[in-house]
Chain A
Amino acid sequence: MKRIAGMPESMSAVVTHYCPGCSHGVLHRIIAELIDELDLRGRTVGVASVGCSVLAYNYFETDFVQAPHGRAPAVATGVKRARPNLFVFTYQGDGDMAAIGTAEIIHAAARGERITAIMYNNSIYGMTGGQMSPTTLMGAVTATTPYGRSEENGRPYRMAELLAQMPGTAYVARTHVADVANIVKTKQAVRKAFEAQIRGLGFSMVEVLGNCPTNWGMTPAESNRYVLTEMLSYFPVGEFKDVTKEALAGVHA
């Protein structure tokens, strides 16, 4: 009989701690499905960051190491350099990657580390109770911008576009998981990012726009609408760097 639905083997059969309606779980599932489909489970080391996804290691049936806040790309670098046959990915939030871990992500990308960084951008510090992050939109009310993010906080910046400029990157994209069609597109992008690492083309990264219904003070449906309207208007989806096709055509050979 053909199996048409079920849990990916790389996903643990446990209840997650994520809030109802949170999209962290959707992104976990995409990653787990791809680890299965690309037959990577036996040689994967995931690197968990500090944020709501700090316990990601409980949800994947792969080896995992937990990094200090922001340092996941450095930890992943150490893992990959020590054992180059491993498939190594980081799973980081916007605060983890774009604030405290800026140096580590930029330099991992610049060096072209053969790792994949997945960023869940919910434009807020979810785990610590909803403070402003570097990607919080202008005007947004958070615990540390009670009157709305204003010019004195600076403006949100775009990580995917920034990393696309780094010489060592092979694939960089932004997607979102606020509707079904784009969940499918996110999976396609993460697949390309994983394949870029497997083929040794360089550093790959996918920034995934997601919600945080709890700290945005919205219902899950409202929060997905916020992603589709407000976030998408500031953070365009797309592929900002893709050398995979050139590599296939032999241009980078």
Chain B
Amino acid sequence: MEPMMTMMKGNEALGEAAIRAGCRFFFGYPITPQSELPAYMARRMPEVGGTFLQAESELAAVNMLLGAAATGVRAMTSSSSPGYSLKQEGISYMIGSQLPCVVVNIMRGGPGLGNIQPSQSDYFQIVKGGGHGDYRMIALAPAAVQELVDLTILAFDLADFYRNPVALVGDGLLGQTMEPVSFPPVKTTDDDKDWALTGAHNRPKRVITSLELNPENLEAHNRVLQAKFAAMEEREARWEEYRCEDAELVVVAYGTSARIARAAVDAARNMGLRVGLYRPITLWPFPGEGLTRLAEQGVRRFLDVEMSSGQMVEDVKLAVLGRARVDFYGRLGGMVPTPREILGQIQELMGGEA
């Protein structure tokens, strides 16, 4: 039977997808532009026997998440940029303690309080660390509401599989976008993991900690974490190539800017220009492999488009490694590029080369 399609806003679809993934614990704190998500969870959680809790701060919320995750259940928190900054403490501790969870960042303009408009300027923070210590976390960046649903469910599975937090990254535009979506049936999850804190009844006690005072042991622990990160890099890079087969120029963009860039690519194709789109779906691990291949196959220029001053472009350059030219176009402070602007950039670059 075909699953039912419903019209839903991104933020709410994310919440419903989390519930379908078996998430029963949500800890939040209000911040625009993600507030519909906690509101949805506050309404839905009691209906499915779950718990929604409004914390006193993002610090408290992420540490409640740590506590819930330590008992083996599927749990989530969400925020937007200034709040995501506060979540870094808990993320670092959860990675050190090998606890699975999902953390959502619906990015807005910064730095500081910035504004509430869509932005992609937290890429560095999400992808390069943010918190303290040598760590990595998978970051998923959907570009449409159905993909948001699918990646939310995937996020919980990946978190459990690797015992590591997973970031789900969007912006206010995706959160507000209303599109038809279908949901898979509700999953039943196994919360009785062999490391979960459930009370030392008829078994030895279990301890979850990120502390290891002996440097030799802490190095060994870090090696274990690094091996997990290497496995993620090996297996979890995801991306989409659109009209790249014979492209001379490839636009690289993720999330909202990829959606806009796609329209620009179609317009360019209509004008006879050989242009494609490369859309990273995981921001970490960064899917550089496909870019390297495209550069080797003869793509001569890449145009990286972001709603930031140029953060992901550093990873694009590393993947291309001088085999082709990499240009950048960005809008800042909550400004969103238009397809026409991007098309203009494409024309300028291709014209300049002719």
**Chain A interface residues (CB < 8 Å from chain B):** 41-45, 47-48, 54-55, 57-58, 60-68, 71, 74-83, 85-87, 103-104, 106-107
Q: Which residues of A contact B198 (CB under 8 A)?
A: 63, 83, 86
Known: A45-B71, A68-B90. A78 touches B200 (CB 8 A): no
Q: What 10 new A-B contacts, CB under 8 Å, besides A66-B207, A75-B70, A87-B199?
A: A44-B199, A45-B70, A61-B205, A65-B97, A65-B197, A67-B93, A79-B68, A81-B64, A82-B68, A107-B55
A105 CB to closest chain B CB, in angstroms? 10
- Find out whether the CB atom of B27 lies under 8 angstroms from the CB atom of A60: no
Q: How far is the CA of A45 from the CA of B196 in the complex (A)?
A: 11
Asked if B219 is at the interface (CB within 8 A of a chain A CB), the reply is: no
Give the contact stretch, choosing among B208-216, B239-247, B296-304: B208-216
Q: Which of A42, A44, A78 contacts B68 (CB 8 A)?
A: A78
- Which of A78, A85, A87 touches B69 (beta carbons < 8 Å)? A78
Q: Which of B26-49 contact A (CB under 8 A)?
A: 27
Interface residues of B (CB under 8 A from A): 25, 27, 51, 53, 55-57, 59-61, 63-71, 73, 75, 89-90, 93, 97, 197-202, 205-211
Q: Are A63 and B200 in contact (CB under 8 A)?
A: yes
Would A82 and B209 count as touching, CB distance under 8 A? no
Most interface-central of B53, B60, B208 (chain A CB within 10 A): B60
- What chain A residues lie within 8 Å of B71 (beta carbons)? 45, 78-79, 82-83, 86
A57 touches B207 (CB 8 A): yes
- Interchain residue pairs A-B with the least CB separation, the first 9: A78-B67, A42-B201, A74-B63, A66-B209, A78-B64, A43-B199, A78-B68, A75-B67, A71-B63
User: Is there an interface contact between B25 and A78, defined as CB atoms closer than 8 Å?
Assistant: yes
Shortest distance from the beta carbon of A153 to any chain B beta carbon, whole Å = 25
In contact, A81 and B208 (Cβ under 8 angstroms): no
- Does B208 lie within 8 Å of A42, measured CB to CB? no
Q: Are B209 and A74 touching (Cβ within 8 A)?
A: no
Q: How far is the CA of A43 from the CA of B208 in the complex (A)?
A: 16
User: When A74-B63, A78-B69, A79-B70 are in contact, do A66 and B211 touch as well, CB less than 8 Å?
Assistant: yes
Q: Which residues of B contact A74 (CB under 8 A)?
A: 55, 59-61, 63-64, 66-67
B209 touches A48 (CB 8 A): yes
Q: Cβ of A45: which chain B residues have Cβ within 8 Å of it?
A: 70-71, 197, 199
**Chain A residue with Cβ nearest B66:** A75
User: How far is B65's CA from A68's CA once the two chains are assembled, in angstroms?
Assistant: 12
| B53 and A63 contacting across the interface, CB-CB below 8 Å | no
**When the two chains form their complex, are residues B63 and A68 in contact, meaning their CB atoms are under 8 A apart?**
yes
Which of B27, B56, B200, B207 contacts A104 (CB under 8 A)? B56
Say how far A170's CB is from chain B's closest CB, in angstroms.
19
Interchain CB contact under 8 A, A103 and B56: yes
A42, B93: Cβ atoms closer than 8 Å: no
Smallest CB–CB gap between B30 and chain A, Å?
A: 15
